[in-house]
Amino acid sequence: MPLNTMEQLLEWVRGLNESVHVSIHKNRLEDSDFWFYDKEAGVIRSRNNSFFTVSGLRMVKDGRTVLEQPIIIQDEIGYLGIICRDFDGETHYLMQAKIEPGNINKIQISPTIQATKSNFTQKHGGKKPAYLDYFINASKYEIIVDQIQSEQSSRFLKKRNRNIVIRVDEEIEVLPSHRWMTLNQIKELMRYDNLVNMDTRTVLSCLPVFKSEYLSRMDKPEMRNSAMAEIKNLPDIYQYINNYKMFDSGRAELVPLMELDNWHMKNNELVCDKPYSFKVVFCDIEIEGREVRHWTQPLFEATGIATFGLIMRIKNGMYEFLVCARHEVGCFDGIELGPTVQREYIHSGVDTEIDRLFFDKLNKKDGVIFDTLLSEEGGRFYHEQNRNVVLEIAEDEIQSLPEGYFWTNLRTLSELVQVNNCLNIQLRNLLSVLEW
């Protein structure tokens, strides 16, 4: 019997949303006494040079500029950590109800700890994050996951965080901001728009589903077979990715933010003269219960809602998933495996036959298994919510694959996520919503 029912968890979130004070409004960069444009460095930064900076980035290929945009530079690696513990033979995860300044709906279900290095080294002058010592001393406990994983590489430059899950067998004080939840409960909460945050999703995507404790809970034989299967297509995947890393001629170079040719301040926002997937806004923020209650900062605001989609099929009694190797401008290694479809609202690329099939079936609601709006990282992005879709097709519905696409199984993806920087954040988020 779970420690908390779904009704109790939803009521807990509702109560916190009603009681906690949040005030967030847009202002001007000049209104902040902490953030400013450093003309010498060519970046927007904080007075103590902590947290992150916003720089200009230009992608050059074969001597020609192919892209330019603002980019977030945050070199430090933060903790995205979850504590779990077994109660009556079932694993429960200690989850946090947390408000980030860019959240569209106040409270979202977050990991036990979600802290940048600036946070947990207390550069902001606030309190030390709760439960930090468990992760600083993780070697004292059973470590289930400990991986450095990438974040949104279209917005961040080489940004990574430490995704870690530890199992303890001792009593833990549960703060009012935290609750124990089962994995099934968290996955059910993922079906509510914008309720489970991105950081929770990326950590849970790293769970090693091929291990017996996870295999035993899989209801669908096809999912269990996929998790137990032999690793599929790994040499082909690595060969494609390594060829890109070796032979791609593109290079990203940092340039002064205010010298980007097509980006200018307009109505107190940094916007592109042409349609683009995001802009930079500046906010004044007050949130009750945070380590620091009042501050200002820049946030990246998306233009519309992106769509991230994962196509799956059953072949030889097991699920296979269609993934695509994707280059992004801020990617740590240049390229990672992404989902079948990864489309920003402002879309300028060429549609493949795979894209057309996906959107045709999505519009007809044919084979849709999961379709929910889920938020991106609210600490850096303003009200960004994207459509996450898992869609099942018939085995023979796709006869051939364009370059860079691969059918693979859950075992292979689960193995790859145990390695740094192989699966991008969009693919990891979609894997996290799979119910097994």
Report the predicted TM-score, pTM, of the whole model to 2 decimal places.
0.95
Determine the pLDDT at residue 73.
Answer: 97
**In terms of DSSP H, where are the helices of 234-344?**
234-247
Structural domain includes residue 326: yes
- Strands 307-315, 368-375: parallel, antiparallel or unpaired by DSSP? unpaired
The pair phi, psi for residue 144, each rounded to 5°, is -90, -40
pLDDT band at 347 (very low <50, low <70, confident <90, very high): confident
CA distance 302 to 386: 9
User: Where is average pLDDT lowest: 120-129, 290-299, 376-385, 417-426?
Assistant: 120-129
Determine the pLDDT at residue 3.
Answer: 86
Structural domain includes residue 402: yes
Contact 298, 382 (CB under 8 A): no
- Residue corresponding to tokens 């899950």: 165
Structural domain includes residue 293: no
Determine the pLDDT at residue 122.
Answer: 58
pLDDT band at 248 (very low <50, low <70, confident <90, very high): very high
Check pLDDT > 80 for residue 125: no
**In terms of DSSP H, where are the helices of 79-123?**
117-120
Determine the pLDDT at residue 430.
Answer: 98
Check pLDDT > 90 for residue 322: yes
Judged by DSSP in three states, 31 sits in helix
Structural domain includes residue 97: no
Check pLDDT > 80 for residue 201: yes
Structural domain includes residue 5: no
* CATH for 383: 3.90.79.40
Boundaries of domain holding 231: 223-250+305-433
Tens-place pLDDT, residues 218-247? 889 999 999 999 999 999 999 999 999 999
What does the mean pLDDT of the chain come to? 94
Structural domain includes residue 167: no
CA distance 364 to 298: 39
Structural domain includes residue 51: no
Tens-place pLDDT, residues 85-98? 999 999 999 999 99
pLDDT band at 50 (very low <50, low <70, confident <90, very high): confident
Check pLDDT > 60 for residue 40: yes
User: Where is average pLDDT lowest: 53-57, 100-104, 125-129, 386-390?
Assistant: 125-129
Check pLDDT > 60 for residue 124: no
Domain count, the chain: 1
Check pLDDT > 70 for residue 1: no
Structural domain includes residue 346: yes
pLDDT band at 123 (very low <50, low <70, confident <90, very high): low
Q: Which residues make Cβ contacts (< 8 Å) with residue 170, sequence separation at least 6?
A: none
